[in-house]
């Protein structure tokens, strides 16, 4: 008797031969990736028409699990790598999937300049408030007073409000969700993927192993409960008003959705003119 192998509904987009993944129990990355794959399926994006580029870190490993042309680059450099790739392949959708440390500490300069250019790409940032892969160090997103392995007395630094940085730098689409908001997140990802120009979604996700257990939310469930109790949806508000504070509300929603010519359109227009 032959037994038909069961396929995961998302197998089309997954490198099944690389599963199980490396992420810890309670981590928000699996959920986030699942939302992304559903967004791809609902938009009927063919794997050949998509490239995923990551930097280094836990989120950076996403590139290794998606069955598309996928590039796991150097720390912080996913955006400039994706810049070259997208300019060479204008018909492909290019998504940068990386973490808060990768995109906003070591890669911060690239982020603000890609947003300023209104470069046609989607940047999905999983913000877990710390450097998970290296064991939970202070990140540019760690809330004030939070404890990490390099801020054992509590964080002295003011964190970035990522959505505010994105909007101020020129992003045309800016949204924030937590990994609890799976349907809203998926819908937002669909909007971002269809948006022309620089679209950005911040996904607040639990890192119980490295961050949560040092900050009174030792399990993934504790952190999800916190999101449930403290998330407040406020579409369209000025992201400057959406700072994240320890013990405070997490303001989520779509903050920016505007139209602007993209760098990419301008470049191809210039080539047309120059070739005449």
The one segment of 26-34, 160-168, 252-260, 265-273 that binds other proteins by CB under 8 A? 265-273
The one segment of 62-70, 125-133, 187-195, 230-238 that binds other proteins by CB under 8 A? 62-70
Q: 């045309």: which residue's tokens?
A: 172
# binding residues, other proteins (CB under 8 A): 42
Tell me: does residue 47 bind other proteins (CB under 8 A).
Answer: yes
Distance CA 253, CA 37 (A): 20
By C-beta, is 115 or 205 nearer to other proteins?
115
Tell me: does residue 3 bind other proteins (CB under 8 A).
Answer: no
By C-beta, is 17 or 229 nearer to other proteins?
17
Interacting residues with other proteins between 86 and 145 (CB under 8 A): 86-89, 91-92, 109-110, 113
DSSP label at 213?
A: G
To the nearest whole angstrom, how small is the minimum distance from the Cβ of residue 150 to other proteins? 23
Distance CA 86, CA 195 (A): 15
Q: Is 75 helix (H, G, I), strand (E, B) or coil?
A: coil
The one segment of 74-82, 156-164, 206-214, 242-250 that binds other proteins by CB under 8 A? 74-82
Q: Which of 83, 148, 161, 231 binds other proteins (CB under 8 A)?
A: 83
Q: Which of 37, 40, 77, 192 binds other proteins (CB under 8 A)?
A: 77
Tell me: does residue 176 bind other proteins (CB under 8 A).
Answer: no
**108 within 8 A of 140, measured Cβ to Cβ:** yes
Distance CA 220, CA 26 (A): 4
Distance CA 253, CA 175 (A): 6
Tokens of 18: 């690389």
- Neighbour tally for 140: CB within 10 Å: 19
Tell me: does residue 18 bind other proteins (CB under 8 A).
Answer: yes
By C-beta, is 85 or 237 nearer to other proteins?
85
Among the listed residues 67, 66, 92, 62, the one whose alpha carbon sits nearest the alpha carbon of residue 78: 62
Q: 């990355």: which residue's tokens?
A: 29
The one segment of 44-52, 134-142, 185-193, 243-251 that binds other proteins by CB under 8 A? 44-52
């Amino acid at each position: 008797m032959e037994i038909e192998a069961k396929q995961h509904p998302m197998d089309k987009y997954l490198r099944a031969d690389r599963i199980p993944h490396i992420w810890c129990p309670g981590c928000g990355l699996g959920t986030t990736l699942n939302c992304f794959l559903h967004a791809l399926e609902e938009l009927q994006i063919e794997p050949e028409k998509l490239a995923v580029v990551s930097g280094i870190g836990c989120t950076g490993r996403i590139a290794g699990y998606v069955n598309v042309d996928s590039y796991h680059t150097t720390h912080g450099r996913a955006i400039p790598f994706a810049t070259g790739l997208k300019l060479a392949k204008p018909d492909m959708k290019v998504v940068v999937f990386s973490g808060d440390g990768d995109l906003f500490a070591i890669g911060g300069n690239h982020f603000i300049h890609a947003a300023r250019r209104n470069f046609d790409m989607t940047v999905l940032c999983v913000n877990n408030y710390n450097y998970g892969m290296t064991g939970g160090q202070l990140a540019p997103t760690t809330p004030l007073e939070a404890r990490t392995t390099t801020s054992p007395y509590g964080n002295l630094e003011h964190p970035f409000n990522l959505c505010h940085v994105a909007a101020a730098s020129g992003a045309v689409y800016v949204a924030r969700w937590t990994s609890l908001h799976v349907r809203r997140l998926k819908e937002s990802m669909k909007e971002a993927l269809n948006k022309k120009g620089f679209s950005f979604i911040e996904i607040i996700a639990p890192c119980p192993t490295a961050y949560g257990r040092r900050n009174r939310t030792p399990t993934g469930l504790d952190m999800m409960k916190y999101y449930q109790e403290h998330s407040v949806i406020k579409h369209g508000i000025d992201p400057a008003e959406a700072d994240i504070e320890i013990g405070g509300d997490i303001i989520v929603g779509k903050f920016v959705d505007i139209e602007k010519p993209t760098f990419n359109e301008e470049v191809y227009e210039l080539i047309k003119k120059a070739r005449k």
